[in-house]
Amino acid sequence: MKQLLKTLTETFSPSGYEDEIRKVILNEVKLLADEVRVDALGNLIVRKKPTNGTKAPKKIMIAAHMDEIGVMVTHVDDNGFVRFTGIGGVYPRNLVGGHVRFANGVSGVIGLEPTSSPSDVPALNKMFVDVGATSKKNCPVKTGDVAGFERSFLDLGDRLVAKSMDDRIGCLVAIEALRELKSTPHDVYFVFTTQEEIGTHGAQTSAYGIDPDLGFSIDVTGWGDTPGQKDFDVALGKGPAIKIRDGGMLSDPRIVEWMIRTAEKAKIPYQREVLLGGTTDARAMQLVRGGVPVGCVSIPCRYVHTPAEMVDFNDVKNAVKLITAMLSNSVSI
């Protein structure tokens, strides 16, 4: 699992440019599924049919997004410095000195204009990427080019660090749950979605096409267990978090109860999550067609939307166990 996670997190795929990560995931799931297809928005839809002849099986959708945050070139100045805007939640305080890599393989370092105080947090329009060019003419990137952040996977034992844990860790959990799911009474759709970071676009269109009876997302959530973090009761190493609400969604209480009941029966540690900001693909799924009961299994993650996101490997393994147990048994929702 760790080697696969390294491959997933180090693969370049900002929102809207998910081709490379989709190839990696497809290679892992194609022999595990009954059907595999890619829709018009690039979502990878992986179906596991019911295996026990259940009449009128529940159609369940599980979404984990493939994309990651990144930057897009807005213009190149006369001296070859690349100005950019964010793709997704890109926060200036996390960027200075960071490395990015463009789709064409060009790498660069992020710098900023002088500020009046060293403690000032600059806006994105005061920052630039230095790719080593000396003029606009010899700059190897152009307006509209896209870059992802560049950082190697780091294995600290139980704690794992990488860029794009959000949400490659959810993709890993989905892949491993599919691998472990030997039989199911449900018609299950694992969907590896596109463009979550810019508005959950892929989940919306794929959910419309699948028309599930219920579903949930697998995504990261925040953390409350480092110095100064307050009022968020989620910690690394205490199990996957069962989302009750976030900044864009109220989980269906029946989904929450299903998750809790399954975790307790299987003796899987879990946490209850109330996140005040941010949301996941579950929000988009919830609102399609006539509405879908949804929830979310969250992986606690420190330093979200930085190039060094950290998760606990035990939480990851327990999330796989929880989702496998949920899908292996019938559900009355």
In the chain, what are the domain boundaries?
2-68+163-328, 70-149
CB neighbour list of residue 131: distance below 8 Å, 6 or more residues apart: 80, 82, 106, 107, 108, 139, 140, 141
Quick one: pLDDT at residue 20? 96
In this structure, are residues 84 and 122 in contact, taking their beta carbons and an 8 Å threshold?
no
CA–CA distance, 127 with 34 (Å, rounded to integer): 48
pLDDT in tens, 96-127: 889 999 999 999 999 999 888 877 888 999 99
How far is Cα 292 from Cα 294, in angstroms, rounded to an integer? 6
Contact 47, 188 (CB under 8 A): yes
Strand order in the sheet with 159-162: 154-156, 159-162, 309-312
- The pLDDT score that the predictor gives to residue 117 is 82
Per-residue pLDDT of the chain (333 residues; tens, 9 = 90+): 999 999 999 999 999 999 999 999 999 999 999 999 999 999 999 999 998 777 779 999 999 999 999 999 999 999 999 999 999 999 998 898 899 999 999 999 999 998 888 778 889 999 999 999 999 999 999 999 999 999 999 999 999 999 999 999 999 999 999 999 999 999 999 999 999 999 999 999 999 999 999 999 999 999 999 998 888 999 999 999 999 999 999 999 999 999 999 999 999 999 999 999 999 999 999 999 999 999 999 999 999 999 999 999 999 999 999 999 999 999 988
Q: pTM (2 decimals)?
A: 0.94
pLDDT in tens, 4-16: 999 999 999 999 9
Closest CA to 106 of 131, 138, 79: 131
How far, in Å, are 13, 153, 279 from residue 262 at the CA level?
34, 32, 24
Helices (H), the chain: 2-10, 19-29, 165-180, 201-210, 253-265, 281-286, 313-328
Tokens for 49, please give them: 């049919």
Homologous superfamily (CATH) for 2-68+163-328: Zn peptidases (3.40.630.10)
User: What residues contact residue 126 under an 8 Å CB cut-off, 6+ apart?
Assistant: 92, 112, 113, 115
Superfamily holding 70-149: Peptidase M42, domain 2 (2.40.30.40)
List residues with catalytic annotation: 196
The Cα 314–Cα 269 span in angstroms is 10
- Give the DSSP per-residue string, 280-310: -HHHHHHTSTT---EEEEEEE-BSTTSS-EE
